[in-house]
Amino acid sequence: MSRQQPQPLADCFPEIERRIRAREAVSLFLDFDGTLTPLVGDPAEARLDAAVQRAIDRLSRKRNLNVTVISGRSLHDLHARIGLPYVIYAGNHGFEIKGPGLRFMQPIAGALRPELQDLCSRLAVSLSSIPGAKVENKVLTASVHYRQADPADVAQIEEVILASVKQNAARFRVSLGHQVFEILPVAGWNKGAAVNWIHDQLGGPTPITIYLGDDSTDEAAFRMLTGSITVKVGPLDPTSARYHSPGPAQVREFLLWLESIAFARAKAATR
């Protein structure tokens, strides 16, 4: 999909409702940080709003409506923060997936775990003199956070990361997120590939796919999901998404609205 000016999501509820009602199944994908929760200075402090958690729980229990939370966080971290039994969790940018009847680890990423550990150890030493730079090894991917670093130090942080990854350029690459550098395996895999894998495993009628994300790593899914309901959350940067939502508060309203139309006709059949 070519980059275009996305339409405001809040203006398009009637159109989206028509598209949902025209399909037998819905597949909902939600990023976590910056989409379901506001970005915070310390990622460990991110908390899911109770009403959002309740809406996701109810939606995930509805027949023919699958909910996946897809995030750069590790699978364990993601599950701990949401804790809902019928949700599919896609952690590490989709490199690991777990849900009812589903379990996946991208094999190349799995094989590179020792090298990633070594890379993270070297980076932690190299960045130890820069206050606020934090290396997080998430087993299959890694993050270097700099939200709490002095903005004047960001260029040096980037230089150190790029120099370290360059030594492993055939195996790892760097992606820029929201005040974080993501270190990802070179594996021909991204969030778009994870969406395809999940759909292949679920089978059943072809769903209408709804994907909301705020990060550069979500663009791979936006580009792949032509004809779907794709939503760029946050600043209106260039994007391949069809719609735009200003932030998590508006995502909350969308999910509550989606819950209301999903249960409008008959009481939901639970799994």
Q: Would you list the domain boundaries of the chain?
A: 7-106+189-262, 109-185
pLDDT at 143: 95
- Give ∠ CA 147-244-48 in degrees, rounded to 5: 50
Active-site residue identified among 11, 31, 33, 57: 31
Q: Please, which pLDDT band fits residue 270 given cuts at 50, 70 and 90?
A: very low
pLDDT at 44: 85
pLDDT at 3: 57
Q: Confirm whether 31 is a catalytic residue.
A: yes
How many whole angstroms separate alpha carbon 33 and alpha carbon 136? Answer: 16
**Which residues are CB-neighbours of 257 under 8 A, at least 6 positions away?**
13
pLDDT at 237: 85
pLDDT at 133: 95
Domain at 7-106+189-262, CATH from 3.40.50.1000, 3.90.1150.10, 1.25.40.390, 2.60.120.10? 3.40.50.1000
pLDDT at 177: 85
- Give ∠ CA 130-215-137 in degrees, rounded to 5: 45
Superfamily of domain 109-185: Trehalose-6-phosphate phosphatase related protein; domain 2 (3.30.70.1020)
* Long-range CB pairs of 50-54, under 8 A, 24+ apart, other chains included: 51/252, 51/256, 52/251, 52/252, 52/255, 53/82, 53/84
Region 136-159 average pLDDT: 95
User: Model pTM?
Assistant: 0.92
**Residue 22 per-residue DSSP state:** T
- Residue 156 near residue 130 (C-beta atoms within 8 A): yes
Sign of CA dihedral 62, 63, 68, 74: positive
Q: For 177-196, what is each residue's pLDDT tens digit? A: 888 999 999 999 999 999 99
Q: Please, which pLDDT band fits residue 264 given cuts at 50, 70 and 90?
A: low
Q: Which residues of 228-255 are buried (b: 16+ CB within 10 A; e: fewer)?
A: bbbbbbbeeeebbbbbbbeebebbbebb
pLDDT at 269: 42
